């Protein structure tokens, strides 16, 4: 058992810091001392119980830190290694074997089960009561997290480690959708609906891919300003303009080769599909409400169009996260510009700042105790 501190959700809507105990690493587990954890929309959905995750619980799934202790079966990592954490996957199923681990058949159990696969608790409160943990493979709103070796990605030690956690979810989701799933060719056009951290990552990736026309659509003028700085060649503010009219005007009436939906709103997904030219492809990334459904115009869809759902950017985290760090180093993926730092004790404030649009990507840092 390791004494630690975590932000615990006991009732929907609030995080409260409390002392906890984390189990010692078993066979393929590693204990990581967290130095930073990004706040992602999915954390807020679970906090509010729109996404079911048993309470009381420790959330946080964009963590980075230093390996403190490893289980007996761990081969790739050693204490002292710097790691970025990502989602969990089994490694054995047909999807994992095919490098499509975002679609692992054991995804729900490993990322949303709250306990180990054998049912044992990973963390307990001061009274010895179990806390749900390993949320999306992590539970990194804490000083320490107990994760599987497979979803801890070793990274170089000469980068600011506290910055790197968001690469494990939102950044790889947006960038991976473009680079791994859509794979646009040089000179092609793409429209990104939603300019939060996922959409802005998609915009940076579209520039890396060499897209000539990169259209950012949002209702927040501040975010659109950042989108333009990061590579959007056209921004559309839906408070003042109709997105489809503006996209057609910018593409000689044809529509875009690719579109990316990052908002989770059915009406926006419909627009993302309608913005495509013949044979265009739309990637749907936004997580919607449980009952959300979308309507499509069937006959317009017949023009060779593809609508494709994408989770975690189709990425193989062990390869894609180091790639994103390389792009960050050479200045083509400047995701640090989206980040605001908070202390772990300010997690409720960080959540409010993200909800209001004041912060694009909040990273919380635990107190640097031992």
What does the block give as tokens for 156? 């170089």
Is 223 in a helix, a strand, or coil? helix
Q: How far is the CB of 280 from Zn ion (least distance, A)?
A: 27
What is the Cα–Cα distance from 206 to 257, expressed in whole angstroms? 12
How many residues bind Zn ion (CB under 5 A)? The answer is 8
Binding residue for Zn ion, selected from 55, 66, 77, 93, defined by CB under 5 A: 93
Q: Which is nearer to Zn ion, 39 or 243 (CB)?
A: 39
Q: How far is the CB of 92 from Zn ion (least distance, A)?
A: 6
Residues 41-60 that bind Zn ion (CB under 5 A): 42
Q: How far is the CB of 252 from Zn ion (least distance, A)?
A: 37
Which residues lie closer than 8 Å to 102 by C-beta, 6 or more apart?
Answer: 87, 89, 95, 311, 312, 313, 314, 315
- Pick the stretch among 166-174, 186-194, 320-328, 354-362 that binds Zn ion (CB under 5 A): 166-174
Q: How far is the CB of 233 from Zn ion (least distance, A)?
A: 28
The answer to whether 74 and 93 are in contact (CB under 8 A) is: no
Q: Which is nearer to Zn ion, 89 or 112 (CB)?
A: 89
Q: How far is the CB of 40 from Zn ion (least distance, A)?
A: 3
Q: How far is the CB of 244 from Zn ion (least distance, A)?
A: 29
- Pick the stretch among 28-36, 95-103, 197-205, 249-257 that binds Zn ion (CB under 5 A): 95-103
What is the Cα–Cα distance from 3 to 68, expressed in whole angstroms? 13
Q: Which is nearer to Zn ion, 42 or 235 (CB)?
A: 42
Contact flag: residue 96 with Zn ion (CB under 5 A): yes
Q: Which is nearer to Zn ion, 99 or 242 (CB)?
A: 99
- Beta bridge partners of residue 57, listed in sequence order: 9, 132
Q: Which is nearer to Zn ion, 101 or 203 (CB)?
A: 101
What is the Cα–Cα distance from 39 to 254, expressed in whole angstroms? 38
Contact flag: residue 169 with Zn ion (CB under 5 A): yes
Pairing state of beta strands 234-237 and 152-154?
A: unpaired
What is the Cα–Cα distance from 24 to 34, expressed in whole angstroms? 16
Cα–Cα distance list, 282 to 196, 244, 266 (Å): 18, 14, 13
Q: Is the dihedral of CA 221, 272, 184, 85 positive or negative?
A: positive
- Pick the stretch among 138-146, 164-172, 219-227, 254-262 that binds Zn ion (CB under 5 A): 164-172
The answer to whether 310 and 176 are in contact (CB under 8 A) is: yes
- Pick the stretch among 15-23, 101-109, 286-294, 322-330 that binds Zn ion (CB under 5 A): 101-109
Q: How far is the CB of 93 from Zn ion (least distance, A)?
A: 3
Binding residue for Zn ion, selected from 58, 104, 142, 203, defined by CB under 5 A: 104
Helical H runs in the chain? 41-47, 94-97, 107-112, 170-176, 197-209, 221-230, 243-250, 266-274, 298-301, 317-329, 347-356
Burial of 353 (0-12, 13-18, 19+ CB in 10 A): middle
Q: Which is nearer to Zn ion, 39 or 214 (CB)?
A: 39
Q: How far is the CB of 65 from Zn ion (least distance, A)?
A: 17
Closest-CA residue to 65 (of 320, 344, 366): 366
Q: How far is the CB of 43 from Zn ion (least distance, A)?
A: 7
Contact flag: residue 90 with Zn ion (CB under 5 A): yes
| Footprint of Zn ion (CB under 5 A) | 40, 42, 89-90, 93, 96, 104, 169
């Amino acid at each position: 058992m390791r004494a630690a501190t975590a932000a615990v959700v006991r009732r929907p809507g609030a995080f409260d810091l409390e002392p906890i105990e984390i189990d010692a690493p078993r066979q393929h587990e590693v204990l990581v001392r967290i130095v930073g954890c990004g706040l992602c929309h999915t954390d807020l959905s679970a906090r509010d119980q729109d996404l079911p995750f048993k309470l009381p619980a420790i959330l946080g799934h964009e963590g980075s830190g230093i390996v403190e202790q490893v289980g007996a079966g761990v081969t790739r990592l050693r204490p002292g290694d710097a790691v970025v954490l990502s989602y969990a996957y089994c490694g054995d199923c047909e999807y994992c074997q095919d490098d499509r681990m975002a679609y692992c058949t054991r995804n729900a159990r490993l990322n949303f089960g709250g306990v180990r696969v054998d049912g044992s608790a990973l963390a307990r409160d001061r009274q010895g009561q179990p806390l749900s943990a390993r949320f999306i493979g992590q539970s990194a709103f804490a000083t320490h997290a107990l994760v599987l070796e497979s979803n801890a990605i070793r990274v170089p030690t000469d980068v600011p480690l506290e910055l790197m956690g968001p690469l494990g979810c939102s950044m790889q989701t947006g960038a991976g959708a473009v680079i791994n799933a859509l794979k646009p060719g040089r000179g092609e056009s793409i429209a990104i609906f939603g300019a939060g951290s996922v959409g802005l990552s998609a915009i940076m990736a579209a520039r890396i891919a060499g897209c000539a026309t990169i259209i950012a659509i949002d209702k927040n003028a501040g975010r659109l300003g950042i989108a333009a700085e990061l590579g959007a060649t056209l921004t559309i503010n839906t408070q003042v303009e109709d997105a489809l009219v503006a996209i057609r005007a910018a593409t000689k009436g044809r529509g875009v080769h690719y579109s990316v939906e990052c908002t989770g709103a059915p009406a926006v997904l419909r627009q993302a599909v309608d913005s495509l030219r013949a044979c265009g492809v739309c990637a749907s990334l936004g997580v919607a409400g449980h009952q959300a459904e979308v309507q499509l115009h069937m006959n317009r869809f017949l023009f060779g169009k593809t609508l494709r759902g994408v989770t975690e950017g189709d990425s193989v985290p062990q390869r894609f996260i180091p790639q994103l760090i390389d792009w960050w180093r050479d200045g083509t993926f400047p995701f640090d510009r989206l980040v605001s730092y908070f202390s772990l004790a300010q997690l409720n404030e960080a959540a409010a700042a993200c909800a209001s649009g004041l912060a694009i990507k909040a990273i919380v840092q635990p107190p640097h105790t031992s």
